[in-house]
């Protein structure tokens, strides 16, 4: 059985990897669609979508 700390670390790593993958994807896709953004805007968009994903999964909602 996995400890609570190991579960927390696993969840944090999954979120971090997902954020980086999403960020790299939008940085490649947006310019191809004619959308040019600064790095701080890319980070903001990635953070918003990460928070939405966490809320949707129930993590941020305390489930």
What pLDDT, on a 0 to 100 scale, did the predictor assign at position 54? 87
Which segments of 1-63 does DSSP mark as H helices, in order?
4-32, 39-57
In the three-class reduction of DSSP (H, G, I as helix; E, B as strand; rest coil), residue 29 is classed as helix
Closest to 19 measured CA to CA, from 48, 50, 54, 42: 50
Contacts of 54 by beta carbon, 8 Å cutoff, 6+ apart: 15, 60
Q: Do the beta carbons of residue 51 and residue 15 sit within 8 Å?
A: no
Q: Convert the pLDDT of each residue in 44-57 to its tens digit.
A: 999 999 999 888 88
What pLDDT, on a 0 to 100 scale, did the predictor assign at position 58? 79
User: Is the pTM for the entire model greater than 0.85?
Assistant: no
Site of tokens 């990635």: 46
Q: Convert the pLDDT of each residue in 3-59 to its tens digit.
A: 999 999 999 999 999 999 999 999 999 999 999 999 999 999 999 999 998 888 876
What pLDDT, on a 0 to 100 scale, did the predictor assign at position 43? 97
């Amino acid at each position: 059985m996995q400890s609570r700390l190991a579960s927390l670390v696993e969840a944090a790593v999954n979120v971090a990897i997902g954020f980086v993958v999403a960020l790299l994807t939008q940085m490649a896709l947006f310019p191809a669609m004619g959308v040019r953004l600064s790095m701080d805007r890319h980070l903001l968009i990635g953070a918003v979508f990460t928070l939405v994903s966490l809320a949707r999964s129930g993590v941020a909602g305390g489930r």
